[in-house]
Amino acid sequence: MAITRRTHVRENLLLALDTLRKHKFRSFLTVLGVLIGTTTVIAVASIFAGLDKQVADAARDFGTRTLFIFKFDPGIHIGRLSKEERMRKPLTFEDARALKECPDVETVAAELQIWGPPPEMKYKSKQILDANFIGATADDFRVVNDNLADGRFFTEIEDLHRSNVAVIGSDVVKRFFEHEDAIGKSIQVAGNSFQVVGTLAPRKSFPGDNGTDRVVKIPYWTFKKFYPDQKENFILAMAYPGRVNLAIDEVGSVLRRRRHVKPSDHDNFGISTAEALIEQFRGIMSTVVLVTVVISSIGLLVGGIGVMNIMLVSVTERTREIGVRKAIGARRSDITWQFLLEAMTLTGSGGVLGILFGCLLSFGIKSLSNFPSSVPIWSVVAGFAVAVSIGLFFGMWPALKASRLDPIVALRYE
């Protein structure tokens, strides 16, 4: 019985493929909506998967135990900041020093930057106008998980003595010292000379951001010597292993007390971690993907309606064939499955083409623009399953209509 059923399925499938071969252009136009919808889903899923991996890798590259502390609410901001956020007082170096007393905080670092156009950097005749110029405490390299490519990090003694030393990122090394050793050389930043004592290894970057490697770090107090009016501190803290949540609570309590936040008021600072940034990014992207999938489902719906229409036409064209099959013993279920398999084969073929086009599109985006793109297996499986399901759903009515034809009437049909 099982062998007979498999034989019927195979025969119906071959019959469906033969019908597609006979009407290639009509079949292609019929499944065009399914093809476009599947292509869109595969392309969007691949871009999302690539972005998700790049963002996760870049965030975790800073360390899973690192707390990012700033005066604004944490996360990705869209649009203007609220007036309350803009009016917040900056975090201070004393705030950073106070956080060292937290029992679950291993070490703390503070950074200062120039808010506005970056300063001009020069070495001989070469010039950089877009590098990040940062003043950082000596523990900064450890907290943000910086790795040396050559030389050394500056020390706490050099920071206290306001020494004119610098550690530079890999992109600055490429631009200034492509064919020479950077260690011991002096670079000019806004007219001030700094000796390069170390170079950083390349970091994993966020999409569209190469600033992590385009950086020049100097000691915190050296920075204050040249820019005494800069007060916007960015604080980083490293929690002990397994104590990240406890460290967040302790840091929050210390800062609320130091910044005089009332018990009923919201924090006037932000604390985030690599995992929190990843989760917020995924929340935003999942909304974008959902909207895109809903829009692409319109293409699938149009494709499904086209399949139903063409299958109804096919039933009419093959009325005599149905009558002959019934006359020689075909059951209603045989006729139903014949047309259902034909509809599913039709949309399944559109799904396969959509998957191929989606994969090619993903590969093209990655090759031509270096944009992260990776086709996840689940999107391929889901794309094919949805395409076949469209054929099953929209092919049901034509298949039932064919199975209910009276064999005598069908044989007389001209």
Q: Assign 336 to helix, strand or coil.
A: helix
Q: How confident is the model at residue 208 (pLDDT cuts 50, 70, 90)?
A: low
Q: What is the pLDDT of residue 337?
A: 79
Per the listing, tokens 């090759």 go with: 367
* Backbone φ, ψ for residue 174 (5° rounding): -60, -40
199's enclosing H/E stretch is strand 192-200
Residue 1 clears pLDDT 80, i.e. is over it: no
Contact 326, 405 (CB under 8 A): yes
pLDDT at 245: 92
Q: Tell me, what amino acid is at 386?
A: V
- For 110-120, the pLDDT digits (tens) are 999 987 788 99
Please write the tens of the pLDDT for every residue from 169-182. Answer: 999 999 999 889 99
Locus of tokens 């990240």 = 244
391 φ/ψ sector (left φ>0, alpha ψ -120 to 50, else beta): alpha
pLDDT for res 7: 57
| Helix or strand (DSSP H, E) at 61 | helix 32-61
The secondary structure of residue 233, as a DSSP letter, is: -
According to DSSP, residue 265 is labeled: S
As a whole-number percent, the residues of the chain with pLDDT over 70 amount to 88
- In this predicted structure, what is the pLDDT of residue 69? 92
